[in-house]
């Protein structure tokens, strides 16, 4: 977002973009409108950037109303009906507030079981990778692309389509993107968003016209935890996206944390029988689908021994010889 803003796009160009935004989301939208819009985009790189700014306008009312007012005397504005602008603004508000439209469109559901991962090609050219025990709903319309992450973790690579914003909803927040790649994890009211490339923003789903929005740059992560605390950092991308290739990377994490992550992928859980053992720290790269090998590795690296049962894998403190 900051790179676009640094170009100091003129109010007139922003206003043109706002008009196009409303026009393309009205019930009066025609094929000719789309052709004209794409021609306008190709005229100047600032047109595309201005349209992205408007599309990602988190204070929706400000971005849609103020630029249109500044551009009121433009000849281009006169080509558009007041009804089209009004309806377009209403649809945009519904889109960014995350209300209304979501529940009236048909949705496709996708899911993975424990230990399963799945890659899905979406109709718009985007694709999503679902991690273990993940559920999503996908609902595409002519004006927007909606995905609800019900639980679990998913990686999205979004096909660029300036006419249809791409929104991922998880709990009471949504991630809005245009063309980008990002990772979203949502479990037990904890939400984490990691941006791999492009640009996204995270905002609460609310009726407020000016929701608090947080924009991410590539490599950044934002976490909303159960206590409503917000943490923003820059993790090791190779580590946080390793799950996509069936691996998990631990870097000086407690054994308890490592076991919790490994157990997400297995119906035969690892159990730490001794509290003291749980506090030991561990590093390494492991296969998500092989908890037994992980446990045996732990028994070599730490003073621990493995006990295998049909229902679980038990790690105990090694007996002193």
Residue that wins the pLDDT comparison between 21 and 125: 125
Q: How far apart (Å, rounded) are the C-alpha atoms in residues 34 and 31?
A: 5
| Residues in contact with 283: Cβ distance below 8 Å, sequence separation at least 6, in sequence order | 250, 251, 252, 253
pLDDT tens for 75-128 read 343 333 433 333 344 334 333 333 333 333 456 899 999 999 999 999 999 999
CA-based max dimension of the chain: 89
Cβ burial of 213 (10 Å; 0-12, 13-18, 19+) is middle
Q: Which of 24, 14, 82, 25 is nearest to 54 (CA)?
A: 14
Q: Lowest mean pLDDT of 76-90, 185-199, 274-288, name the range.
A: 76-90
- Report pTM: 0.68
Domains of the chain with bracketed CATH: 2-96 (no CATH), 102-238 (2.60.120.1440), 246-317 (3.55.50.30)
Whole-number pLDDT of residue 319: 78
pLDDT of residue 68: 33
Report d(CA 128, CA 48) in Å as an integer. 25
């Amino acid at each position: 977002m900051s790179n676009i803003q640094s170009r100091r796009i003129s109010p007139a160009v922003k206003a043109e973009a706002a008009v196009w935004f409303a026009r393309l989301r009205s019930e009066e939208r025609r094929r000719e409108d789309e052709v004209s819009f794409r021609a306008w985009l190709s005229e100047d790189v600032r047109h595309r950037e201005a349209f992205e700014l408007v599309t990602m306008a988190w204070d929706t009312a400000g971005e849609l109303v103020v630029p249109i007012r500044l551009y009121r005397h433009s000849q281009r504005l006169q080509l558009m009906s007041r009804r089209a602008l009004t309806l377009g603004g209403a649809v945009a508000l519904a889109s960014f507030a995350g209300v209304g439209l979501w529940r009236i469109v048909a949705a496709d559901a996708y899911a993975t079981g424990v230990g399963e991962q799945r890659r899905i090609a979406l109709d718009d050219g985007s694709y999503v990778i679902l991690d273990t025990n993940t559920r999503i709903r996908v609902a595409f319309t002519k004006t927007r692309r909606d995905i609800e992450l019900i639980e679990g973790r998913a990686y999205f690579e979004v096909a660029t389509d300036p006419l249809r914003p791409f929104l991922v909803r998880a709990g009471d927040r949504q991630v809005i993107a245009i063309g980008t790649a990002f990772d979203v994890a949502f479990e037990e009211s904890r939400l984490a968003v990691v941006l791999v490339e492009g640009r996204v923003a995270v905002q609460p789903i609310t009726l407020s016209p000016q929701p608090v929005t947080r924009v991410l740059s590539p490599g950044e992560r934002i976490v909303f935890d159960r206590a409503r605390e917000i943490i923003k950092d820059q993790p090791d991308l190779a580590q946080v996206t390793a799950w996509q290739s069936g691996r998990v990377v631990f870097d000086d994490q407690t054994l308890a944390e490592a076991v919790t992550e490994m157990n997400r992928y297995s119906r035969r859980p690892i159990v730490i029988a001794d509290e003291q053992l749980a506090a030991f720290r561990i590093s390494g790269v492991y296969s998500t689908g092989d908890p037994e090998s992980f446990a045996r590795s732990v028994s070599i690296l730490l003073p621990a021994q493995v006990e295998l049962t049909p229902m679980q894998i038990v790690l105990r403190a090694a007996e002193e010889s």
